[in-house]
Homo-oligomer: A and B are copies of this chain.
């Protein structure tokens, strides 16, 4: 995950710049220590590898020992990981490592609660492209850690004809036909619709997946009846944890929720550092 290494690099540079003036004045370079990362609230942990890499990019001799695996539930006060190495690296990496963990664990924890709300439903809960710029790969990873699935990574690995495309293209049918000719044969064609007549157009044009955008439960049921299994059905727009189960029971195949990533709250973690020499 090359791009993650790059983001860590940027994060360390923006925090440390030309030097940590406090630490470099106070701590001799040869001193070593142990850092202990603790959860200060119950959470689903995610991003342990990233946190470890933060320290390793500062000093390749740091040893990062996770006490859990990504996806595990961690209780309040639990030790999440230990970091052994030069004190300078521990002190200079602390905040950046925690900043990664707090957000990724935040997403995993948030997603897990959605997944549990769904119970044993066969519906596939997926994320969207409403992610933090620079964090796409990481946030989509945390979604999987939480137990949900990914929609496409970006604009390059999936066809999704959105409302704005339809508007400037002259209708659902035209859009689907034009795209089918040019698309590689490995991709399905998904189209976003907000009216029932568009569902019919999409079906006639042979869409593989139909996304019902911001429809209410009655419209969704009508759309499902119309589609009758001839295309996969995704619902999207204003999904909340409480509406999830209800939606799943309609029989849709996929529920996509931007909230999985953009509405997650940062978890509270801290790091305690002790010197060993």
Contact = CB atoms under 8 A, between A and B. Distances in A.
Interface in A73-98: 87, 90-92, 94-96, 98
A15 B272 CA distance: 34
Interface string A159-183: 1111011011100000100110011
A2 interface: yes
Interface residues of A, number: 91
B18 A17 contact: yes
Q: Chain A's interface: helix, strand, loop or mixed, by majority?
A: mixed
A262 B102 CA distance: 9
Given A186-B209, A253-B185, A179 B131 contact: no
Contacts of A162: 22
Nearest to A19: B156
Given A158-B187, A186-B152, A175 B133 contact: no
Interface in A105-128: 124, 126
A273 B168 contact: yes
Given A132-B99, A187-B158, A10 B19 contact: no
Given A22-B179, A164-B272, A16 B156 contact: yes
Contacts of A16: 154-156
Contacts of A66: none
A153 B156 contact: yes
Given A20-B155, A186-B159, A99 B14 contact: no
Interface of A: 1-3, 6-8, 10-11, 13-23, 25-27, 31, 33, 87, 90-92, 94-96, 98-100, 102-103, 124, 126, 129-137, 149-162, 164-165, 167-169, 175, 178-179, 182-188, 190, 209, 232, 234, 253-254, 262-263, 265-266, 271-275
Given A18-B137, A96-B133, 18 more contacts: A14-B153, A21-B158, A22-B160, A23-B155, A25-B159, A27-B168, A91-B164, A94-B164, A134-B134, A151-B186, A153-B156, A157-B157, A158-B187, A164-B271, A185-B190, A185-B253, A187-B188, A262-B266
19 contacts: A14-B154, A15-B155, A18-B136, A19-B153, A22-B179, A92-B155, A95-B129, A132-B132, A132-B135, A156-B157, A157-B186, A158-B186, A160-B186, A164-B272, A168-B274, A185-B188, A187-B188, A262-B266, A263-B265
